Amino acid sequence: MTATVKIDGVSKRYGKVDAVRDVTLTLEGGETVALVGHNGAGKTTLIKLMLGLIRPTTGSVRMLGEDPGRGDVRARKRLGYLPESVSFHMALTGRETLAFYARLKRVDIASIDALFERVGLAPQAAARPVRTYSKGMRQRLGLAQALLGAPRVLLLDEPTSGLDPALRRSFYDLITDLRAGGTTVLLSSHALTELEDRADRVIILNKGTKIADGTLDELRHIARLPTRISARIARDAPIPAWAQDNGRWKPGANGILETDVAPEDKIALLGAITAPPSGLAGLTITEPTLDDLYAHFLDDQEMSR
């Protein structure tokens, strides 16, 4: 993989507000990365720095090897951006809107029909004024705009907010195709649950500082949060020896026994309870979710202040 985005020691200060503080990160080609953080954590500021819309107070930003702040059109063409709230001219049709952005980006207008198809906007819809569009259709048009010129880096700010589940699914299918084609996709979002299976890597920002960066497995490894094991014993089986350890197992609903186990003890415990005769009728293993990890890293940072 090759690095497409390199941010080195970047800070951005607005008056007395440190919107981004000393952030260093690298994104690779073909990687889908989730950028998560509370409101005001600095996500949009970081994206604007990557686009060259604002300049860092200190540090350097390199997008595809170039400084995005130089405003070089060729370099910009290879970046795609979907802002948090897309606002289009309501009187223009979808096709006119996309043609306008294609001209701005100096992209061949002949490519826009394929883009409409790619984001799932029918030709009849493309011929209608944007004011008649639903929120989902506007978001699709926004995505088509971001995809103009087949960017190698795509920066999407809250791309699925307000979309229904079917639209979200088709949105993520598109992201999967882009990832396969080698595009770097950065998704800024609050929707942690839906990102869990979609992002290769998660970056957590808090108050402008990067507090975690890794795959879900890496973050789980660092956080050392316990895994929950829920075991159901077969009704007609005698109570197995392992289930008699009242210090470990707590009774849950419907006769299920539950315990939280530390990462280093998990395999040994699973081996012990599944060894025949286990008496088990069911077993559920729940790893810490992205929500749990997010809360953990935020607490950790607050405690170390």
Ligand X SMILES: Nc1ncnc2c1ncn2[C@@H]1O[C@H](COP(=O)(O)OP(=O)(O)OP(=O)(O)O)[C@@H](O)[C@H]1O
The minimum distance between CB 202 and ligand X, in angstroms, equals 15
For residues 33 and 186, the answer to whether their CB atoms sit within 8 Å is yes
CB of 260 to ligand X, least distance (A): 31
The DSSP code for 305 is: -
Tokens matching residue 35: 């950028």
Q: How far is CA 146 from CA 39, 88, 264, in A?
A: 23, 13, 44
* Choice between 41 and 195, CB closer to ligand X: 41
Beta carbon nearer to ligand X, 205 or 225 = 205
Q: Which is nearer to ligand X, 44 or 111 (CB)?
A: 44
Q: Which is nearer to ligand X, 12 or 296 (CB)?
A: 12
Strands (E), 47-124: 58-63, 79-82
Could you give the count of Cα atoms lying within 13 Å of 57 in the half-sphere of its Cβ?
14
Our CB check for ligand X shows the closer of 30 and 37 to be: 37
- How many degrees, rounded to 5, is the angle at CA 49 between CA 86 and CA 147? 45
- How far is Cα 132 from Cα 254, in angstroms, rounded to an integer? 51
Interface contacts to ligand X, rule CB under 6 A? 14, 17, 19, 37, 39-45, 84
In angstroms, what is the minimal distance from the CB of 269 to ligand X? 39
Nearer to ligand X, 135 or 250 (CB): 135
Residues 141 and 133 sit within 8 Å (Cβ to Cβ): yes
Per-residue tokens: 246? 């009242």
261 three-class SS: strand
| Least gap, CB of 196 to ligand X (angstroms) | 19
Six-digit token string for 299: 């607490």
Rounded least distance, CB 193 to ligand X, Å: 17
Q: Find the shortest distance in angstroms from Cβ 223 to ligand X.
A: 22
